[in-house]
Amino acid sequence: MAILRLSHVEIRVPDLELATAYYSEVVGMFETAREGDRVFLKCWDEHQHHSVILQSAPTYGLVRMGWKLQFLEDLDYYQEKLEAVGVQVDRLNPGQAGPGSGSSIRFELPSGHEMELTYGMDQVGNLLPLTNPPPKPLGMVGIAPPRIDHIFLTCEDVGVNTKFLEGALGFHMTEQVLGDDGFQVATWLEHSNQSHDIALVTGQDKGLHHFAYYVEDWTAIRDAADILAYHGVNIETNPTRHGATRGHCLYFFDPAGNRNETFTGGYYVDHDEPPVTWTEAEMGRAIFYYDGVVNQKFLTVHS
């Protein structure tokens, strides 16, 4: 009975062809379907039909995020829990959310972010044979991350939304930044035993701060930076380490202005471990451990 992990992210892009070129040739994802004004992509090691959906729209931003459920019965379980706290829930049948999609429920977080819990997305296989496979395909272009990793949202009231994720959805908070006034400025939560699957930072409601791709190690972060710089992509931060989650990261923007991250490191966490707390004075190091400096631009959602 559980949410397993981040399943997919649907984002807005004004120029669908340009964004598709970027996500397939620079990020190195693989297109699996097109339908109307939407393009579906997956990473090479993902077995599911898609993990990123691009939707043609006037400007950048998040349409919704999807989370993978372990069992079909989890749909009822979470619908009940959500409705019990007054959240309106919509039900979708397989295929209704687009090619390859499974059975889902949709609802809004208090922050207005649209969330989808889904079971049974089509399995299309990763890019390797199931018999005697090599460890990875050769000759992929771009960064070619094996999978997506997590999502980071902005919202006006981090505390309220964190409680919602913990209460109705069973997320476990691993880290938080506590303001001097005792309110949560940012929180990190997980379902998958990774340092975080979702995080929230104070900002505008419905905002997408970034979503992240997993890469193998610190050297892969460097290789990603080489590839992005080669293509003239807007790199926001040099390779560095987060204090919170301990992960290594690199931030950059897609052509629409959606912030992307390549992430690695982080830790394995048991759900019963106590959270780490960062004080407001050390928020700089919580975000960027090395130089401890977070500029105002990084705390906004756009490029």
Cα gap 86→197, rounded to integer Å: 25
- Residue pair 160/109 in contact (Cβ under 8 Å)? The answer is no
Which span (29-37, 76-84, 150-158, 264-272) binds a copy of itself, by CB under 8 A?
A: 264-272
Contact with a copy of itself (CB under 8 A): which of 117, 161, 278, 287? Answer: 278
Token pair of 257 as six digits: 């202005």
Shortest reach from residue 202's CB to a copy of itself, in Å: 19
Cα gap 183→159, rounded to integer Å: 7
Count of other CB atoms within 10 angstroms of residue 138 = 5
Active-site residue among 22, 119, 251, 289?
Answer: 251
Cα gap 112→286, rounded to integer Å: 26
Contact with a copy of itself (CB under 8 A): which of 282, 298, 300, 302? Answer: 282
Cα gap 130→133, rounded to integer Å: 6
Of 24 and 193, the one with the shorter C-beta distance to a copy of itself is 193
With CA atoms as reference, report the closest residue to 110 among 90, 77, 88, 79. 88
Q: Does 99 bind a copy of itself (CB under 8 A)?
A: no
Cα gap 284→148, rounded to integer Å: 25
Active-site residue among 49, 50, 209, 242?
Answer: 242
Helix (H) or strand (E) holding 228: helix 218-230
Active-site residue flag, 196: yes
Active-site residue flag, 251: yes
Contacts of 136 (CB under 8 A, 6+ apart): 44, 45, 128, 146
Shortest reach from residue 161's CB to a copy of itself, in Å: 23
Active-site residue flag, 210: yes
Q: Does 5 bind a copy of itself (CB under 8 A)?
A: yes
Active-site residue flag, 175: no
Token pair of 211 as six digits: 């979503």
Shortest reach from residue 287's CB to a copy of itself, in Å: 12
Token pair of 128 as six digits: 């390797």
Q: Does 182 bind a copy of itself (CB under 8 A)?
A: no
Shortest reach from residue 82's CB to a copy of itself, in Å: 21
Residues 48 to 67 in contact with a copy of itself, rule: CB under 8 A: 48
Of 113 and 259, the one with the shorter C-beta distance to a copy of itself is 259
Residues 211 to 240 in contact with a copy of itself, rule: CB under 8 A: 214, 216-219, 222, 225-230, 235-240
What is the Cα 208 distance to its own chain's centre?
A: 9
Cα gap 144→139, rounded to integer Å: 10
The residues of the shown chain that bind a copy of itself, judged by CB under 8 A, are: 1, 4-5, 45, 47-48, 68, 70, 123, 130-136, 138-139, 141, 146-147, 192-193, 214, 216-219, 222, 225-230, 235-241, 243, 246, 248, 265, 267-268, 270-279, 282, 285-286, 288-292
Indicate which residues carry an active-site annotation. Answer: 150, 196, 210, 242, 251, 261
